[in-house]
Amino acid sequence: MADADAAAVAARLARIRVVLINTTHPGNIGATARAMKVMGLSALHLVTPKIYPHADATARASGADDLLQSAQVHDSLESALRGCALVLGTSARLRSLPMPLVDARRGAGLAVAEANAEGGAHGVAVLFGRERYGLTNEEMQCCHYLVNIPSNPDYSSLNIAQAVQILAYELRIAAQGFSDISVDPPDWTPVDAEQMERLFAHLEQALLDIRFLNPRQPKRLMARLRRLFNRARPDLNEYNILRGILKAAQDAASGRVDRQ
């Protein structure tokens, strides 16, 4: 029974990837791999690391070399999120555009519930930004939730590997137990991050075509619309309906409508 439980925990955690973005110090990549392996996480994804591979990463991994060897390196965040339906972004700072915000425990519960959803084929990504300033506003807009780790307001600086360790611990606890986060019905499977980016590109172009979006100041509106649709998390049927509506609006604006 214990072996079966351990296998179930491992299966849940295997669907959750840790994504480090533009990491400057290779030692932080190694320390992250160690933090992950201790808690049973195995999917490490690196977006444009400054220096990698490197001996410092191997030294700081302290036996988690297998995670470094299997780590996937990407040239864009879009590539790292491919196949993920839920994206959590860690942030110590709150930005001018409000985003859905959860603490580490609730964020871990959401991630494990998604990874454990019946019939779920999509993964979960937890994003960690640069050592100096974290995630950019644009990267945050790819997230469904921001995860904040409450800390001493007089000294709130957490090393990336320390932040990963806290989230990894909460993820393991959630995977071992029974989270109070509700799981969506099994017939609902949200589209992944790549499809959402196609929707946002289509939406922006359609809004330009119908002259709703000011091309000189597009970012604020698009950021709010991203937040809206990321919160809704459409499934494939809803996604196709939205794309169809946008296409019809573009056709109407250009006079291509069939007036039967």
Contact assessment for residue 73 and residue 67, using Cβ atoms and an 8 Å cutoff = no
pLDDT value for 67 = 98
Per-domain residue ranges of the chain: 2-176, 193-254
Q: How confident is the model at residue 151 (pLDDT cuts 50, 70, 90)?
A: confident
Q: What angle do CA 243, 249, 252 make, to 5 degrees?
A: 140
The answer on pLDDT for 181 being more than 90 is: no
Backbone φ and ψ of 131, nearest 5°? -60, -40
Task: Specify the long-range contacts of residues 211-216, CB closer than 8 Å, at least 24 apart.
Answer: 211/253
Reported confidence tier of residue 1, pLDDT bands at 50, 70, 90:
very low
- Model confidence at 255, in pLDDT bands (50, 70, 90)? confident
Rounded mean pLDDT of 2-26? 90
Say which range, 57-71, 119-133, 164-178, 222-236, has the weakest mean pLDDT.
Answer: 119-133
pTM attached to this predicted model: 0.79
95-118: pLDDT as tens digits: 556 788 999 999 999 999 988 876
The larger pLDDT score, comparing residue 195 to residue 3, is at 195
Q: Residue for token digits 């172009």?
A: 205
Give the per-residue pLDDT at 32: 98
- The pLDDT value recorded for residue 185 is 57
Q: Cα 20 to chain center, whole Å?
A: 11
Average pLDDT over every residue of 181-208: 84
What is the Cα–Cα distance from 112 to 120, expressed in whole angstroms?
A: 12
Write down the pLDDT at residue 260. Answer: 45
Give the Cα separation of 128 and 17 in Å (integer).
11
Torsion of CA 176, 177, 180, 181, to 10 degrees: 10
Q: Which residues pair with 127 in a beta bridge?
A: 19, 89
Q: Could you tell me the fold of the domain covering 2-176?
A: Alpha/beta knot (3.40.1280)
- Judged by average pLDDT, the poorest of 148-152, 179-183, 215-219 is 179-183
Provide the token pair at 34: 């160690």
Q: At what angle do helices 2-14 and 160-176 cross, to 10 degrees?
A: 130
Mean pLDDT computed over 5-28 = 95
CB 75 within 8 A of CB 46: no
Mean pLDDT, the chain, whole residue set: 89
Is it the case that residue 50 has pLDDT exceeding 80? yes
Report whether pLDDT(20) > 90: yes
Mean pLDDT of 184-210: 88
What gap in Å lies between CA 221 and CA 235, rounded to an integer? 23
Q: Averaged over 4-26, what is the pLDDT?
A: 93
Look up residue 191 and give its amino acid.
Answer: V
pLDDT score of 105: 94
The pLDDT value recorded for residue 215 is: 85
Instruction: Calculate the CA 41 to chain-centre distance.
Output: 15
Mean pLDDT of 239-243: 96
Second-level CATH architecture of 193-254: Orthogonal Bundle (1.10)
pLDDT at 97: 60
State mean pLDDT over 184-189.
Answer: 65
Q: What is the rounded CA–CA span in Å between residue 211 and residue 157?
A: 44
| pLDDT greater than 80 at residue 218 | no
What is the model's pLDDT at position 95?
58
Q: Which residue has the higher pLDDT, 255 or 256?
A: 255
